[in-house]
Amino acid sequence: MCRSEDELDFETGSFRAGLASPTGYALLRVVRRSSEDSTKTDAARLATLKRRLSLPPMWVTVGRMNTRATCFLVGFVVLGIGSVPAVPATAAGPTPDVVLDRLRIFFQKTAKSDGSYRPGIDPDYEGMSDSAFSDLAPVTYAVVLHKTFGWKLPAEEKTRDFLLSRQRADGSFANVAGTVDPDSPAGRAYNTTMAIMALRALGTKPRYDPLPVFDMVMKADYKDLPAYMTSFFPLAYLASGKPIPPIADRKIKALMVQDGDGYLHEHVAATFHAAHYYRLIGEETPKAEAMLGRVLRDQKPDGSWMLNAPARDRHAGFDAAFVIRQLGGDRPECRRALAKAAAWALSCRNPDGGFGHFPGSTSDADACFFQVGTLVMAGVLTPADPLPPDPHLLGWGHLFPVKR
């Protein structure tokens, strides 16, 4: 559940003030291009970007990030109080069966001949968030959603072989495309967790023991990982058949310092991963009531939790829904909040059957998982019966049993 490094660089740079403007927000999308693209005219590049992102840019800036990649920032400003433009509600929305049928068709159209998956239907679309971060994200989310609903993958054996082919002798899995460096601590932890998750769902063990990857990261690099990667560790260990080692558990808990309202770093993603972490290890979430109260208060009238620039809050709806479902259960206020969250998730659905990260955004494999996961937690979409084995280890908790 990561954003691309490019997006992080720009979000923390000089554009941040504009993104957080009280009069609206500006969406930044960074698309990397090698120097081989230099023969194209800027106008042609920008027209291609507009088409790929399905956005109506109101301003465009062209700049250079480094000597190897040219970055095009495409943004649009929405006037108002920083809200994402709402999609008008229809008198009768799609039935759950229609949503699922069209979603399955979306993944059929993104399936590749080698068993992997593209981020979206357009072969030139490079993805957002996880899909842009690593090319192991779309295939993992395709596996997770197919297993969630009991569907057979278009080419399951090829998908299994594709995932196994990405493992290296040291146990780590590597991305070939995407913004993350496969040899960085974040890249090794992200890719390996995602591949372990997908292979377990396929009933397959990795060729090499992947856990030394996490043992190595925990020796020093763990302190520098993003706050939204904490629950990767217990998930990877449990999906490999072992509990997280006590020393690793203590180190990660020491990083999850909460404010009085239960939040971490004023960010629902980091807060979600803390709640997910404690649910995975079977312990009570610290400051659970305060955390739940803050999440409920932060929900916007449109049902979303888009409180910051979209690059920062792309998974906010799912993150908040998990906290509400796991910490609030069936309380009336929690059911109401989840119903609103589901309505917002459905407003992100596109005619191609996929989901974007927000209304009007291009359908993306990453967005499909998080929006559909919200709909499952809200009870709008029904998963397979019986559930797949160890449902709490499939994805990021959308099938996690609620503690009674």
Side chain identity at residue 268, one-letter code? V
Q: Which residues contact 88 (CB under 8 A, 6 or more apart)?
A: none
Q: Tell me the β-bridge partners of 70.
A: 33, 64
Pairing of strands 77-79, 24-26: antiparallel
Side chain identity at residue 93, one-letter code? G
Q: Which domains does the chain have, with CATH numbers?
A: 5-79 (no CATH), 96-393 (1.50.10.20)
State the Cα–Cα distance between residues 138 and 238, nearest whole angstrom.
Answer: 22
| 67 token code pair | 């000597």
Instruction: Indicate left, alpha or beta for 150 from its phi (over 0: left) and psi (-120 to 50: alpha).
Output: left
Side chain identity at residue 73, one-letter code? L
> Residue 404: its pLDDT value, please?
74
Rounded to 10 deg, the angle between the 332-347 and 316-328 helix axes is 160
Q: Which residues contact 322 (CB under 8 A, 6 or more apart)?
A: 272, 275, 276, 377, 396, 397, 398, 400
SS3 letters across 116-140: CECCCCCCCCCCCCHHHHCCHHHHH
Does residue 30 sit in helix, strand or coil?
strand
HSE (side-chain half, CA atoms, 13 Å) at 269: 20
> Residue 225: its pLDDT value, please?
87
Q: Is the dihedral of CA 242, 248, 252, 254 positive or negative?
A: positive
- Strand 59-64's sheet: what is its strand order? 29-33, 70-75, 59-64
Q: Tell me the β-bridge partners of 111.
A: 117
State the Cα–Cα distance between residues 204 and 239, nearest whole angstrom.
Answer: 11
> Residue 311: its pLDDT value, please?
79
> In the block, which residue shows the tokens 């493992």?
167
| Local structure of residue 223 (DSSP, 8 states) | G
Neighbours of 41 (CB within 10 A): 8
Side chain identity at residue 28, one-letter code? L
State the Cα–Cα distance between residues 99 and 277, nearest whole angstrom.
Answer: 30
> Residue 308: its pLDDT value, please?
84
Low pLDDT (below 70) residues in the chain: 1-92
Beta-strand ranges (E) seen in 204-243 are none
> 92: buried, middle or exposed (CB in 10 Å: 19+, 13-18, 0-12)?
exposed
State the Cα–Cα distance between residues 345 and 103, nearest whole angstrom.
Answer: 14
| 392 token code pair | 């709490």
| 89 token code pair | 């509600």
| Terminal Cα-to-Cα distance of the chain (whole angstroms) | 27
> Residue 90: its pLDDT value, please?
42
Contacts by residues 192-197 (CB-CB < 8 Å, ≥ 24 positions apart): 192/236, 193/232, 193/235, 193/236, 193/239, 194/134, 194/136, 194/137, 194/140, 195/136, 195/140, 195/163, 195/166, 195/167, 196/236, 196/239, 196/240, 197/140, 197/144, 197/235, 197/239, 197/393, 197/394, 197/395
